Amino acid sequence: MTKNCHNDYKMKFTTDEEFPDLSQHNNHMAKALTKEIYEKLRGKSTPSGFTLDDVIQTGVDNPGHPFIMTVGCVVGDGECYEVFKDLLDIVICDRHSGYKPTDKHRTDLNYENLKGGDDLDPNYVLSSRVRTGRSIKGFTLPPHNSRGERRAIEKLSIEALASLEGEFKGKYYPLDGMTDAEQEQLIADHFLFDKPVSPLLTCAGMARDWPDARGIWHNENKTFLVWVNEEDHLRVISMQKGGNMKEVFRRFCVGLQKIEAIFMKHDHGFMWNEHLGYLLTCPSNLGTGLRGGVHVKLPKLSTHAKFEEILTRLRLQKRGTGGVDTASVGGVFDISNADRLGSSEVEQVQLVVDGVKLMVEMEKKLEKGESIDGMIPAQK
């Protein structure tokens, strides 16, 4: 039985008969998909059986919002980025500020290349965090993987993480096996992740078989955390209170590289190529997949007329303190890098470090009633 015999069956209908109605839609996929592209790609599938209809289903089911542009597509395996490049290259270019199919992405996880970052004023910068995702070669991704694959990923991950020592010594908590006490603690620490409810994720099939083979690992110090089999194979998070982003980034790079070395020993390195960097489920997370950010108090700057422009020029984005799509509370904002693809980890974290340092200085100036006009940065 071939995995794509369902797709073969669909081919007896014409392109016109199958083409989705995207007239109400506002997402990157809906903008990029034409009947010509659909006609060209609809008969294809990756070796694991993922098809164009699978890629776009989440974007068809979720028309989006007039103000917020979602991606509207996902991949089921690493090969999708090649097999469906006629669609995905356009989506990637649109989402990642003009990134071309011929561009090369830089990877730099050498934390010593980061300048400064250990002196952000803790009176303003309340906490610092860096996260990314990783996909494990040889397995399909959350929209597509079977229970067997997901369990194998979990098993490999547990093995890899169990071998970490020193500051990285920690423990794994499977979602389906934790005690009530463990669950309470993980919730109190804000570590526990829930079954996805966002239709962006559920329509892409990422919540199937929940909570089978999902879990959370963290070190004893609670400064390094790994999510297994949520929206990506692995989500890796380094964090701590205060403004020492340098230390957070050091731990991030060291931990990631230790984990990768163990996976490579088992012939299951991370999915990566020199055009797209690290391959993840959502095209928005390609490249570094990195979001490095701080929770920072900017009550005056955030109400300044030029706040948005300053952020844009610094290549930063703001979110509320609850994360994406939440509001800020008490003038405290989550400020992080806007870019993922086309610049390296060091470069992106550098932008955060430099940008936040500048914004804190601006905040202090505004507190004294002085103007910040002379400090507005050029476009980075």
Partner 1 sequence: MRYHAEYPDLRKHNNCMASNLTPAIYAKLCDKATPNGYTLDQAIQTGVDNPGHPFIKTVGMVAGDEESYEVFGDLINPVIKERHNGYDPLNMKHPTDLDSSKIHSGLFDERYVLSSRVRTGRSIRGLSLPPACSRAERREVERVVVDALAGLKGDLTGRYYSLTQMTEKEQQQLIDDHFLFDKPVSPLLTCAGMARDWPDGRGIWHNNEKTFLIWVNEEDHTRVISMEKGGNMKRVFDRFCKGLKERLIQERGWEFMWNERLGYILTCPSNLGTGLRAGVHVKLPLLSKDPRFSKILDNLRLQKRGTGGVDTAAVGGVFDISNLDRLGHSEVQLVQTVIDGVNYLIECEKKLEKGQDIKVPPPIKQFK
3-state DSSP of 345-380:
HHHHHHHHHHHHHHHHHHHHHHHCCCCCHHHCCCCC
351 binds partner 1 (CB under 8 A): no
Distance of closest approach, residue 153 Cβ to partner 1, in angstroms: 12
Distance of closest approach, residue 211 Cβ to partner 1, in angstroms: 9
Subset of residues 143 to 162 that bind partner 1, contact rule: CB under 8 A: 146-148, 151-152
Q: Give the integer Cα–Cα distance in Å for 272 and 211.
A: 28
229 binds partner 1 (CB under 8 A): no
**Out of 208, 258, 306, 365, the residue judged to bind partner 1 by CB under 8 A:** 208
Distance of closest approach, residue 25 Cβ to partner 1, in angstroms: 11
Burial class (CB within 10 angstroms; exposed 0-12, middle 13-18, buried 19+) of 102: exposed
Q: Pairing mode, if any, of strands 272-273 and 125-134?
A: unpaired
Q: Give the integer Cα–Cα distance in Å for 218 and 263.
A: 18
**Out of 31, 39, 44, 53, the residue judged to bind partner 1 by CB under 8 A:** 53
**Candidate segments 103-111, 204-212, 248-256, 257-265, binder of partner 1 by CB under 8 A:** 204-212
Whichever of 4 and 229 has its CB closer to partner 1, that residue is 4
**Out of 191, 210, 272, 307, the residue judged to bind partner 1 by CB under 8 A:** 210
4 binds partner 1 (CB under 8 A): yes
322 marked as binding residue: yes
14 binds partner 1 (CB under 8 A): yes
321 marked as binding residue: yes
197 marked as binding residue: no
44 binds partner 1 (CB under 8 A): no
67 binds partner 1 (CB under 8 A): no
Q: Give the integer Cα–Cα distance in Å for 208 and 174.
A: 16
CB contact at 8 A, 99 and 284: no
Subset of residues 114 to 143 that bind partner 1, contact rule: CB under 8 A: none
Q: How many helices (H) and strands (E) does the chain have?
A: 13, 10
Q: Give the integer Cα–Cα distance in Å for 300 and 331.
A: 8
Whichever of 36 and 308 has its CB closer to partner 1, that residue is 36
Q: How many CB atoms lie within 10 A of CB 292?
A: 27
**Out of 18, 247, 260, 361, the residue judged to bind partner 1 by CB under 8 A:** 18
Q: Give the integer Cα–Cα distance in Å for 251 and 198.
A: 31
268 marked as binding residue: no
In 3D, which of 223, 380, 232 has the Cα closest to residue 315? 380
5 binds partner 1 (CB under 8 A): yes
CB contact at 8 A, 245 and 353: yes
In 3D, which of 87, 5, 88, 90 has the Cα closest to residue 43? 5
Q: Give the integer Cα–Cα distance in Å for 319 and 311.
A: 12
Q: Give the integer Cα–Cα distance in Å for 77 and 140.
A: 5
165 binds partner 1 (CB under 8 A): no
**Out of 29, 30, 55, 60, the residue judged to bind partner 1 by CB under 8 A:** 60
Q: Which residues are annotated as a binding site for ATP?
A: 127-131, 190, 235, 291-295, 319-324
Known binding-site positions = 127-131, 190, 235, 291-295, 319-324
Question: Interface residues with partner 1 (CB under 8 A)?
Answer: 1, 4-10, 13-14, 17-21, 53, 57, 60-61, 146-148, 151-152, 176, 202-203, 207-210, 212
